[in-house]
Amino acid sequence: MGLLCGPLFWAQNGSLVEAPEKVPVTATFKGTRLLNYHTIQTLPKNHWEFRVAHRFGDVGSGIKRLWGIDDGARVRLSLDYAPWNFLTLGMERSGEGPLYNVYLKARLLTQTTPGGIPVSVGYYGAVFYADVPAETWEHRLQYLHQLLVARKFSRRFSAQVGLAYLHQNYALVPTAPNDYFLLPLLLRFKTLKRLTIGAEAALPLWENKLDNDAPSSYLPGYAPAIGLVIEIETGGHVFQLGVSRVSGIAEPYTLLNRGQSWRFGFNISRIFSPKDPSLQ
Amino acid sequence: MRTYLITVILTGYAQLYKTDTLFISFYSDAPLEKISAESRKGSYSVIHFGPDTVYVRVPIRSFEFPNKLMQEHFNEDYLESDRYPYAYFRGKLIAPIPLNEPGEYAVSAEGDLIIHGKARHRLLSGVFQVLPDKRLILRGKFLVRPADHDIKIPKMLWQKIAEEVEVRFFGQYRPENAN
C-alpha cells in the first residue's frame, strides 16, 4: 500500500498496517426477497417496506398470449415493518383464493468479515389463511417454518440455503401428505453496482411417488420450482424481473410447484425510512 | 498500538497529542434530497507537534445515516467500504501552535486527503482551542467533491446527491505522554 511509505511516524504508530476490525457484513442479498423466496435480509429498525408482485401466465403460450402476460396476473401485496434490526413483521395478500398471511423473520446470527462468524442465520415463519370454501376454518390454514443460512462469499457472490417445513391442514389432494420438507436455494451474483442476477430453486426432501405409480402418488404434477431473476436498484426502489416455474405467487405455491409452466413475474419494492431529525 | 506510540522518540519540545473524541459529519444539499450522516466513534487522530504532522483515520462504516438504505448504498455503491474501509488525512500544520498559551488559534494543515482510495492534496483549515488543562479542541469544516475521489454518481441521481459535500469535524486532543 502506497500509504506506508510516508514518514517514519506513520509506520511507527502501526495504525496503517493493523488488520481491519471485524464488521458485520451488509447486503448479503439486495432485498428481503429474491424472486419468490425470502432472503436472510431483514429491514433496518423503524423502516417500512411495501411490495407489489405479479406472476403472469404460461410463457409457453407464445406471442398469441404475449407469453402469458395477456392471461392476467396473480398479484401479491406486502407490507412489512421492523420494530428492531433483527426482527421484521409482515402481512400479505395474494391473489390465489385469496390467500392472506402474516409472517415474522428474525435474524439470529450475522456473518462478520474478515473471519469471525462464517454465516448469517435467520428464521422465517408464516401462517397462511386461504379464503376458500372449506368444511371448517382450520382447513384453510397452512404453516411455514424456514431456517435460513446465508453467506456472502465475496462482494459479488452470495448464497443461501434453507430448510423449509410446510404444513397444510387440508391436503391438496387425497394422496398428498400434510407435511413437506424442502430445501430452498438462493444465489446472487452482483454484476454491476446496481444490477444483480439471481437464481433460486426449491428442492424436495421427500420422494414423490407419482412417477412410478400414479394412484399412490404424493402430489400429482409436482416439479421442483426454479427461478431466474434480475434485480435493478434505483435508489429508493428495487425492481426484480424474473421468470420462474411456479404454480402461484405465495410460498405454498412457489415452494410446492405443481406444474410445468414457466411464468414471467416482477416485484417492486419500496422502502420507507424514518425522517432525518437533523434535517427538519 | 498505545505501546507503539510511547516508543516514538520525542526530541526537544516535540509533543504527541491524541484524540479521545472525534466526530465527523457530512451534509449533502441537492435539489431533491438533503442527506446527512455522522460518525461518532472509531475515528482516530494524532498530532505530533514539533514536526507538526497530523494524521487522521476515519472508518467509513462508522457513518450513521437515519436512512439505513442510504447507509447501505453509501457503503456498497459509493464509498465501497469493503475495499476502502478508511478515509485518511496525513499532513503538516503550516504554522506552529503555542501549546502553552490558552486561547483560540486559526490553524491550517496541508497534505493528502485520502477518500475511496484516492488521494488529493488539500489545504484544510479549522480552529484550535488550547485549554488551560492542556487539552486541545479542534473544529472546522471543508468541502469534498465526490468526483475528486472517483466516487461516481449516476446521472439519474444527480439531483439527489450534491456535487460538493460539506464535512465538519470536532475533536478533543490530549497529550499522549504528560511528562
pLDDT of B179 above 50: no
pLDDT at A175: 75
Q: Which of B82, B88, B153 to mutate to test the interface with A (most CBs of A within 10 A)?
A: B82
pLDDT at A216: 55
Q: Which helix (H) or strand (E) holds B135?
A: none
Q: Tell me, what's the ipTM?
A: 0.75
3-class DSSP assignment, residue B68:
helix
SS3 of chain A: CHHHHCCHHHHHCCCCCCCCCCEECCCCCCCCECCCCECCCCCCCCCEEEEEEEEEEEHHHHHHHHHHHHHCCEEEEEEEEEEECCEEEEEEEECCCCEEEEEEEEEEECCEECCCCCCEEEEEEEEEEECCCCCCHHHHEEEEEEEEEEEECCCCEEEEEEEEEEEECCCCCCCCCCEEEEEEEEEEEEEECCEEEEEEEEEECCCCHHHCCHHHCCCCCECCEEEEEEEEEECCEEEEEEEEECCCCCHHHHCCCECCCEEEEEEEEEEECCCCHHHC
Mean pLDDT for B41-69 is 91
Q: Report the alpha-carbon distance of residue B58 to residue B39 in Å, rounded.
A: 8
Q: Which of A159-168, B73-82, B94-103, B157-166 holds the top average pLDDT?
A: A159-168
3-class DSSP assignment, residue B64:
strand
Q: Which residue has the higher pLDDT, B90 or A236?
A: B90
B76 to A26: CB separation less than 8 angstroms, yes or no: yes
Strand partners, B18: B46, B174
> Closest by alpha carbon to B70, among A180, A233, A15, A133?
A233
pLDDT of B8 above 50: no
Q: Which of these ranges, A205-209, A223-227, B167-171, has the smallest mean pLDDT?
A: A205-209
pLDDT-derived band at A114 (thresholds 50, 70, 90) equals: confident
- CB-CB contact of B149 with B112 (8 Å): no
Which amino acid is residue A29, in one-letter code?
A: F
- Measured between CB atoms, does B7 come within 8 Å of chain A? yes
pLDDT at A10: 44
Q: Which helix (H) or strand (E) holds B141?
A: strand B136-144
pTM assigned to the model: 0.81
- Measured between CB atoms, does B5 come within 8 Å of chain A? yes
Return left, alpha or beta for A82; rule: phi > 0 is left, psi -120 to 50 is alpha, else beta: beta
Closest CB to B1: pick one of A6, A14, A27. Answer: A14
pLDDT of A272 above 70: yes
3-class DSSP assignment, residue B6:
helix
pLDDT of A149 above 70: yes
Task: Please name the residues between 131 and 170 in chain B that touch chain A, using a CB distance below 8 Å.
Answer: 154, 156-157, 160
Which chain A positions have a beta carbon within 8 Å of B76's beta carbon?
26-27, 193
- CB-CB contact of B162 with B34 (8 Å): no
pLDDT at A212: 55
- CB-CB contact of B162 with B30 (8 Å): yes
pLDDT-derived band at A213 (thresholds 50, 70, 90) equals: low
Return left, alpha or beta for A135; rule: phi > 0 is left, psi -120 to 50 is alpha, else beta: alpha
pLDDT-derived band at A133 (thresholds 50, 70, 90) equals: confident
The rounded percent of chain B whose pLDDT value lies above 90 is: 53
The rounded percent of chain A whose pLDDT value lies above 90 is: 56
Over residues A40-63, the pLDDT tens digits come to: 999 999 999 999 999 998 888 888
Q: Report the alpha-carbon distance of residue B19 to residue B174 in Å, rounded.
A: 6
Residues B101-126 as b or e (16 or more Cβ within 10 Å = b): eeeebebebebebbbbbebeebebeb
Strand partners, B139: B127, B170
Query: What are the backbone angles phi and psi of residue A132, rounded to the nearest 5°?
Result: -130, 160
pLDDT at A17: 44
pLDDT at A210: 54
Q: Which residue has the higher pLDDT, B119 or A278?
A: B119
Could you tell me which residues of chain A have a Cβ less than 8 Å from any Cβ in chain B? 3, 6-7, 9-10, 12-16, 18, 20-21, 23, 26-27, 44-45, 47, 113, 155, 193-194, 234-236, 271, 273-279
pLDDT at A173: 77
3-class DSSP assignment, residue B69:
helix
- CB-CB contact of A167 with A179 (8 Å): yes
Which amino acid is residue B45, in one-letter code?
A: S
Provide the residue count of chain B: 179
Question: In chain B, what is the straight-line distance between the N-terminal and C-terminal CA atoms, in Å?
Answer: 19
pLDDT-derived band at B3 (thresholds 50, 70, 90) equals: very low
Mean pLDDT for B47-68 is 91
Mean pLDDT for A91-114 is 93
Determine if the peptide bond prior to B96 is cis (ω within 30°): no
Which chain A positions have a beta carbon within 8 Å of B57's beta carbon?
15-16
pLDDT-derived band at A279 (thresholds 50, 70, 90) equals: low
The rounded percent of chain B whose pLDDT value lies above 70 is: 91
Determine if the peptide bond prior to B154 is cis (ω within 30°): no
Q: Report the alpha-carbon distance of residue A195 to residue A200 in Å, rounded.
A: 17
pLDDT of A280 above 90: no
Count other Cβ atoms within 10 Å, centred on residue A27: 19
- CB-CB contact of A150 with A184 (8 Å): no
Q: How far is B148 from chain A (nearest CA, A)?
A: 18
Calculate the CA dihedral of residues A21, A24, A29, A30 and round it to 10 degrees.
-80
> Closest by alpha carbon to A43, among A271, A275, A269?
A271
Which chain A positions have a beta carbon within 8 Å of B34's beta carbon?
276, 279
Q: Which residue has the higher pLDDT, A16 or A112?
A: A112
